[in-house]
């Protein structure tokens, strides 16, 4: 059976600042989606990370289907109306356009979709991040799909040994999508040369070279490129298939346990570690440390199993404690040096205006 998974995410309002959506907002978004199960959809699941609401939709209509995107737009719009009624902060923040134009790309919400022939056993995970950039998944996915130090299946499994093809987007391009395809392991150094710069380049998708099957897809929307100003971090989502011809689910844990430094913070202005958290976790009041959650599902004839929380077992409590130490140490440096993002990442913020004003005073 050919099935499509669509993951669509938006910040449409939260309680007391950038924390979490209210119960009523979440309930309304879920109600709109669930109404279409058995009609437009095979199944649906709704959760949040921080102030972002994530829709996971299973269907048979292919990627970029107008009806699927319109359903998500309707869910987010109706959730926004509830957020406004409740006086939530940033109601409709990620809905940057007033009208639906047939596709959510370019309207503000993050979108990750893939279509594939369902295997007899089809495990996959949904990754969702808050308070960070599209390139935040670069290092964990690189390690899981290309580094045998972290992904032992690359050594032990004949299915994985031929490697994977990385499609990498140039996130600085605003006029058109610009990407390059590089094969691992032959082009490993070239892949690393690009992915090291998570502000400029991001993984768009990963493919099995042996079977030509899609393995992962990541959203790559930059909100500032749509709005022309800083309106919040981009907060990427991803779909990753696992097991058999792909790395095992458990091989994704250690790469995320590294908690790499990524763009983040409450104003999107600093480098902070990416903390693995349980799904439905509020944003941290400690400068909004960037967070990632992961839910693992099995799929059968388009129907979703109950999820397992990728970062929910006790091991992750120790990881989170170490991440907090990394975050505190970096944030103690305040505005200075590598603690803050480079100027090209701050050009849409107030500091750019301040520097232009100061230029006139130089002599």
Q: Which two tokens stand for residue 72?
A: 């998500």
Q: Classify strands 291-300 and 275-276 as parallel, antiparallel or unpaired.
A: parallel
What is the H or E stretch that residue 355 is in? helix 350-359
Hey, which residues are catalytic here? 11, 230, 233
Q: Classify strands 43-49 and 52-59 as parallel, antiparallel or unpaired.
A: antiparallel
Q: Is residue 2 marked as binding?
A: no
Give percent of the chain above pLDDT 70: 96
Q: Is residue 354 marked as binding?
A: no
What is the H or E stretch that residue 25 is in? helix 23-34
Q: Which two tokens stand for residue 196?
A: 């090291």
* Cβ-Cβ contacts under 8 Å for 8 (sequence gap 6 or more): 54, 55, 57, 69, 72, 76, 104, 109, 110, 111, 237
Q: Which two tokens stand for residue 173?
A: 């391009």
Q: Is residue 51 marked as binding?
A: yes
Q: Is residue 244 marked as binding?
A: yes
Q: Is residue 81 marked as binding?
A: no
Given a contact cutoff of 8 angstroms between Cβ atoms, the answer to whether 137 and 246 are in contact is no
Residue 226: the pLDDT is 45
Given a contact cutoff of 8 angstroms between Cβ atoms, the answer to whether 277 and 156 are in contact is no
Q: Is residue 142 marked as binding?
A: no
Q: What is the mean pLDDT of residues 343-359?
A: 80
Residue 173: the pLDDT is 82
The CA-CA-CA angle for residues 97, 100, 104, to 5°, reads 80
Residue 230: the pLDDT is 47
Residue 339: the pLDDT is 86
| Range in 153-162, 198-207, 332-341 with the lowest mean pLDDT | 332-341
* Cβ-Cβ contacts under 8 Å for 202 (sequence gap 6 or more): 133, 134, 135, 137, 138, 168, 169, 171, 218, 220, 236
Residue 231: the pLDDT is 45
Q: What is the mean pLDDT of residues 153-180?
A: 92
pLDDT at residue 284 tops 60? yes
* Cβ-Cβ contacts under 8 Å for 139 (sequence gap 6 or more): 195, 198, 255, 258, 260
Given a contact cutoff of 8 angstroms between Cβ atoms, the answer to whether 311 and 255 are in contact is no
Q: Is residue 348 marked as binding?
A: yes
pTM listed for this prediction:
0.92
Q: Is residue 235 marked as binding?
A: yes
Given a contact cutoff of 8 angstroms between Cβ atoms, the answer to whether 109 and 237 are in contact is no
């Amino acid at each position: 059976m050919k099935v499509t998974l669509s993951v669509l995410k938006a910040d449409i309002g939260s309680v007391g600042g950038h924390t979490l959506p209210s119960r009523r907002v979440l309930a309304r978004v879920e109600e709109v989606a669930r109404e279409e199960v058995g009609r437009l959809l095979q199944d649906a699941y709704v959760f949040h990370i921080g102030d972002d609401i994530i829709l996971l939709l299973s269907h048979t209509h292919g990627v970029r289907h107008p009806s699927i995107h319109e359903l998500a737009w309707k869910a987010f719009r109706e959730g926004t109306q509830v957020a406004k009624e409740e006086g939530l902060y940033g109601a409709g923040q990620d809905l940057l356009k007033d009208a639906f134009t047939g596709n959510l790309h370019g309207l503000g919400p993050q979108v990750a979709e893939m279509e594939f022939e369902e295997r007899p056993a089809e495990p996959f995970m949904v990754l969702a991040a808050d308070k960070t950039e599209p390139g935040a998944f670069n290092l964990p996915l690189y390690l899981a799909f290309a580094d045998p130090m972290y992904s032992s299946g690359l050594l032990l499994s004949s299915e994985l040994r031929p490697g994977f093809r990385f499609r990498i987007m140039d996130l600085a391009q605003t006029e058109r999508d610009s990407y390059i395809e590089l094969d691992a392991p032959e082009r490993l150094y070239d892949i690393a040369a690009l992915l090291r710069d998570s502000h400029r380049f991001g993984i768009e998708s990963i493919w099995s070279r042996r079977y030509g099957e899609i393995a992962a897809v990541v959203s790559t929307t930059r909100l500032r490129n749509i709005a022309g100003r800083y309106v919040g971090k981009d907060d990427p989502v991803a779909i990753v298939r696992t097991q058999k011809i792909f790395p095992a689910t458990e091989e994704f844990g250690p790469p995320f346990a590294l908690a790499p430094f990524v763009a983040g913070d409450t104003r999107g202005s600093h480098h902070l570690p990416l903390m693995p958290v349980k799904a439905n976790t509020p944003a941290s009041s400690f400068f909004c440390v960037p967070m990632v959650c992961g839910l693992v599902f099995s799929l059968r004839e388009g129907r979703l199993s109950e999820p397992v929380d990728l970062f929910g077992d006790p091991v992750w409590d120790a990881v989170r404690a170490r991440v907090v130490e990394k975050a505190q140490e970096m944030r103690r440096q305040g505005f200075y040096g590598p603690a803050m993002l480079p100027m090209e990442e701050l050009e849409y913020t107030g500091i750019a205006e301040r520097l232009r004003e100061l230029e006139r005073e130089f002599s």
